Amino acid sequence: MATPILLLNAGSSSIKYQMIDADTDEVMASGLIERIGQEVGVLTHKVNGEEFVANEEYTNHTVALASMVQMFADHGPSLDDVKAVGHRTVHGGDKLTSTTLIDEDVVATLEALSPLAPLHNPAGIAGIRGAQKALPNVPHVAVFDTAFFSTLPPESYTYAISTDLAREYSIRRYGFHGTSHDYVSHQAAEFLGKPYDQTTQIVCHLGNGASISAIKNGVAVDTSMGLTPLEGLVMGTRSGDLDPGMIAYLHREAGMSTDAIDTLLNKASGMLGLAGASDMRDVETAKEEGDARAQLAWDVYIRRIVGYIGRYYVLLGGIDALTFTAGVGENSAAVRRDVVERLAVLGITLDTVNNTVRSKEPRAISGKDSSVAVLVIPTNEELQMAHEVKAVIA
């Protein structure tokens, strides 16, 4: 007996997937479809140590999912044995706050919330529709990025605007990447050998999208993303925090429509806007070659992270662990170095040798004299989702 679960993590231009046996945590297959919507997309399917690659035009997520299904049919494992499909779902608003069986009402709610997660919810819905078509006879389950942050206290989730308006439009801070913050913070406590509910920590999820969370004795109390996944850190293509006055200013002075401003801040800002490249590897290379734009982008990126760590350190009254995760956090030793170097005032130090070791395992990179454990922990949103889906279908 096994409980194979298919997990889909749909992004704006990509779909990551894994098939996991939720009884043993064994990864039965995994894959990535990139550059959806571009002329040539890439589908990489991994099974039994073998890799199969397809290059096709994936005009949209529905087409991409159909190709994924074909990959499973051609190279296995069979989708016939799948017991359930889990969907990473970014914005559940104030109605959908925990892992939920998907029905038409749930899809309608996600559609209504699309303006609050314009890069993510439409992709998630397309993933749900495509997978429902391919696997019509199994439960489909939504796992929400926001769920982990349902514990934020009012002083953290409240924006200082009219309470009536906020209530009418469900305007509050929700937080995202919760599946990752949840998984990684549990791994961090385990790594330290401390009970989760006695561990106070800061987790830096630095991927294409990026967010930081503050977790006090196992309870999420603050996070850098807010009403939408735009607030907070500087990201690949997103600005993160800025003066909200800029929006009206751009509208009036630059004649930009609200849609144009939304696109600017979500898709053409961040590292892309500052350095001309959204991928941190490209920015790092350009910076090392002396590119002044890349250097400035890097400095703005690091400063924002350091500012949030300082803020959360004070709000939490000190921490046990500071953890880096996701694409940049797991792989960029230079980002970790430049962040931790600026935390010396808090007694937090780095082991510069351990910091450069590459590994897929959780590891400590703090200096011997560090007041806080500094960790690198690979995230695994799909594994966390598999456990949550299994619990819902049980």
Ligand X SMILES: Nc1ncnc2c1ncn2[C@@H]1O[C@H](COP(=O)(O)OP(=O)(O)O)[C@@H](O)[C@H]1O
Residue 332 binding: pick among Mg ion, ligand UVW, ligand X, none (C-beta 5-8 Å cut-off by kind):
ligand X
Instruction: At 261, list the tokens.
Output: 């401003």
Which residues would be at the binding site for Mg ion (CB under 5 A)? 207
Q: Which is nearer to ligand X, 109 or 331 (CB)?
A: 331
279 annotated ligand binder:
yes
For residues 168 and 368, is the Cβ–Cβ distance under 8 A?
A: no
> Can you list the pairs that 338-341 forms with residues at least 24 positions away whose Cβ atoms lie under 8 Å?
338/298, 338/302, 339/204, 339/302, 339/305, 339/306, 339/309, 340/365, 340/374
270 annotated ligand binder:
no
Residue 304 binding: pick among ligand UVW, Mg ion, ligand X, none (C-beta 5-8 Å cut-off by kind):
none
When asked if residue 207 is in the footprint of ligand UVW (CB under 6 A), the reply is yes
CB 362 to ligand X: min, Å: 16
Looking at 221, 280, 302, 350, which residue binds ligand X (CB under 6 A)? 280
Closest CA to 304 of 375, 226, 242: 242
Q: Which is nearer to ligand X, 11 or 178 (CB)?
A: 11
Residues numbered 157-176 forming contacts with ligand UVW, rule: CB under 6 A: 176
* Position with the least CB separation from ligand UVW: 209
# of chain residues touching ligand UVW (CB under 6 A): 10
16 annotated ligand binder:
yes
* Position with the least CB separation from Mg ion: 207
CB 145 to ligand UVW: min, Å: 5
When asked if residue 232 is in the footprint of ligand X (CB under 6 A), the reply is no
Residue 120 binding: pick among ligand UVW, Mg ion, ligand X, none (C-beta 5-8 Å cut-off by kind):
ligand UVW
Q: Which is nearer to ligand X, 149 or 157 (CB)?
A: 149
Catalytic entry in 21, 145, 182, 320: 145
CB 211 to ligand UVW: min, Å: 7
Residues numbered 84-113 forming contacts with ligand UVW, rule: CB under 6 A: 90
Quick one: which segment of 19-27, 34-42, 51-59, 206-214 binds ligand X (CB under 6 A)? 206-214
Residue 95 binding: pick among Mg ion, ligand UVW, ligand X, none (C-beta 5-8 Å cut-off by kind):
none
Quick one: which segment of 23-31, 136-144, 204-212, 272-280 binds ligand UVW (CB under 6 A)? 204-212
When asked if residue 229 is in the footprint of ligand UVW (CB under 6 A), the reply is yes
Query: Does the annotation count 81 as an active-site position?
Result: no
For residues 186 and 211, is the Cβ–Cβ distance under 8 A?
A: no
280 annotated ligand binder:
yes
Instruction: At 130, list the tokens.
Output: 């495509």
Closest CA to 130 of 40, 47, 60: 60
Closest CA to 276 of 292, 288, 260, 263: 292
Q: Which residues pair with 16 in a beta bridge?
A: 9, 32
Q: Which residues bind ligand X (CB under 6 A)?
A: 11, 207-209, 236, 279-281, 284, 326-328, 331-332
Q: Give the residue numbers of the binding site for ATP.
A: 16, 205-209, 279-281, 327-331
